[in-house]
Amino acid sequence: MKRTIKIRNLDCAACAAELQEELEAIEGISEVSVDFVTQRVALVHEGDEALEKAVYSISHFEEVEIVDGSAPEKKERHIKEIVSILVSLVFFIPALVLDLAAIGSEWIAFGLYLAAFAAAGWSVVVAIVKNVPRAFQGGFHPGVFLDENLLMLIAAVGAFAIGQNMEGAIVMLLYQIGEYLQGLAVGSSRGAITKLMSLKSDSAILLEDGSQREVHPDELSAGDTILIRKGDKVPADCRLLDEAASLDTKSMTGESYFKEVRKGDEMLSGCINEGNAVRAEVVRPASESAVAKILELVENSAAQKAKPEKFITKFSRYYTPVVVLIAVIVALIPPLFQGYNFSRWIVPALNFLVISCPCALIISVPLTYFSGVGTLARCGVLAKGAVYLDGLAAVKVAAFDKTGTLTEGKFSVGAVHGEARAIQLAAALEKASSHPLAQAFEGVEAPAAEDVAEISGRGLSGMVGGKRVLAGSYKLMCEAGIPCEEVASDALLVYVAEDGALVGSVEIEDRVRPEAKEALEGLKKAGVSEIAVLTGDTEARAKAALRGLPVDEFCAELLPDEKPAKAQSLKEKGKLLYVGDGINDTPVMTASDVSVAMGGLGSDAAIEASDFVLASDNLNALPKAVRGAKKTRKIVIENIVFSIAVKIALMILSLTIQLPLWIAVFGDTGVMLLAVLNSMRMRAKIR
């Protein structure tokens, strides 16, 4: 069974890796993902006993606590770190002055340096003592034992042992300062993501029996009538009952503009009512609303790790022990050929230990992906995992469904050709269908229909007034052997036949989304080389309906089972992005490299099958998502290359010149901070 456990006080990326390794060693626990940014542990367990062991390990790991969803977030104050650093500085500064000025006894300076080391390093020693039993629990776990705490302690003690007292104290002091700054940076990014929680409304006004009652949004059910006052957040996805409303959609789309909503239109939760007070009918409970989808997807996205994240996790497990082994070789082997001059090679060996700490990578890489997911969410694009950002960044071909994706999917009945009663017969069948076209016949009076069946990709059949009625495409009429002439029209046509004779046809009108052209042009600018439309409509009608859009290829008259095959051929031109909204789009979503579902109008099946969800159905978010994914990928590569290059350079310098130990610590801490600061660039607005 899958389980997500919310925790707190896990603020170190290396600690998260250690906890993950410890949990993976428990029998019956698999697919473990520990994320220190979202403070969550995701795992799959076989039975309650395995889960109990996992819970025990988590709750006994350093200062980690397990919290339930109702527990308030604690503000990170880092009091202990600040006190340790300040006390250490109180001892270190006088010791440095005495040392440099050669004033007083060397033992006084040594005592002050030792006190500075103790003040900064006591927590490191405590962490090491706690790590020892865990490192040998269920076998030996070198990643738990050889963590950054032990490496820094060995480096500091080694410096004291060879008489480098200032180096020994400053190693631990700089390490604690680096840990503190790391906590601040991570906390800042975590805070930026948790701001998404402000999308949630704390209350709703329920209208019942002529009275008003304030309730929590979770108490609302589909069908309830609510009052939304000026300035109120929409508490749940609902349908407007009054004539008009004006919504500020910035929280859902990332752009501050007002959306005018008319009677019967849907209003997504999280938007703010900027007009007069209006009444609305709840269409989905708060737990299934657009805001709930955003928060759930962002919180769970960390469990789906991208390849660079997985690489860094594996890399750190082997990298640190290997570098420790190299440090031992550097300390012991060269002196054997240089007159046993061990003091010459102790400092380079200690430098290796300091430099081997992989914090810069295991912090910055997941932090960058998480920030990328959060940035896309603020633009109204929900990523189901960091793994999908890399795929989106590589997209070269984009394919779209037509109806409900490039068009608004709000159908209305137009002209009727043939007998006037064709519209009543079509309405009788369509009202028994869940197909989007059925919306066009709402309000049309129609006789009752029986035995209504869907003919996949063609239309409907059923009994109306004791007669067999067909309603669907021109192709359906031809296949049924019904004499029929195709009507020339730019609109979608529903042909109607009764007992084998054509009755007439009904035009169904649907408008192109106003932002469609800008969105497709934005995709081209973002690096998408080709745009295609996959539709079951005729090519002529599709071209007429989408006239003016920068579409390179129309793939028309496709049945649902033919779309995946077409997707495979498009993939030969490059990574394929597919955008759709209906149940019939799920097969092609599965076949494409990256898939996007329309979150507001899209079906649950399409949302479930997709990698990304457009929370507000605004296509303008797509080019932003592509640019955001590319920026995320670029920053991740920059951090990996920069961190490894600097560490290799420091290692080489340690072997060729007498590099002071504090420079190695400063360099390691500096690399980590620069990588984290580079990661925080993802928090900037995507344009």
Residues annotated as catalytic (active site), given as ranges: 401
Q: What is the C-alpha end-to-end distance of the chain, expressed in Å? A: 41
Is 664 within 8 Å of 650 (Cβ atoms)?
yes
User: Are residues 347 and 389 in contact, defined by beta-carbon separation less than 8 angstroms?
Assistant: no
CA-to-CA distance for 395 and 650, rounded, in angstroms?
37
User: How far apart are the C-alpha atoms of 629 and 597, rounded to whole Å?
Assistant: 17
The DSSP-derived string for 382-419 is EES-THHHHHHHTEEEEEEEIIIIIB----EEEEEEE-
The beta-strand segments (E) located in 473-509 are 492-498, 501-509
Say how many C-beta atoms besides its own lie within 10 A of residue 56's C-beta: 11
Q: Residues, the chain, total? A: 687
Q: What is the DSSP letter of 312?
A: H
Q: Which tokens in the block code for residue 668?
A: 């390691």
Collapsed DSSP state (helix, strand, coil) of residue 579: strand
The angle subtended at Cα 668 by Cα 664 and Cα 670, nearest 5°, is 115
Distance in angstroms (rounded) separating the CA atoms of residues 233 and 268? 10
**What is the Cα–Cα distance from 630 to 621, expressed in whole angstroms?**
14
401 neighbors 500 (Cβ within 8 angstroms): no
CA nearest to 528, candidates 581, 580, 591, 573: 573
Residue 463 CA neighbour count, 13 Å, CB half: 4
Task: Report CA-CA distances (Å) from 146 to 152, 321, 671.
Answer: 10, 7, 20
| Buried residues in 120-155 as b, exposed as e (16+ CB within 10 A) | bbebbeebbeebeebbeeeeebebbbbbbbbbbbbb
CA distance 206 to 224: 7
For residue 509, the tally of other CB atoms under 10 A from its CB is: 16
Alpha carbon distance 266, 253 (integer Å)? 16
Rg of the chain in Å (alpha carbons) = 32
Three-state secondary structure of 119-184: HHHHHHHHHHHHHHHHHCCCCCCHHHHCCHHHHHHHHHHHHHHCCCHHHHHHHHHHHHHHHHHHHH
CA 320/CA 353 separation, integer angstroms? 8
CA trace torsion 274, 278, 282, 287 (10° rounding): 30
Token pair 């995507």: residue = 686
Which helix H or strand E contains 575, and what residues bound it?
A: strand 575-580
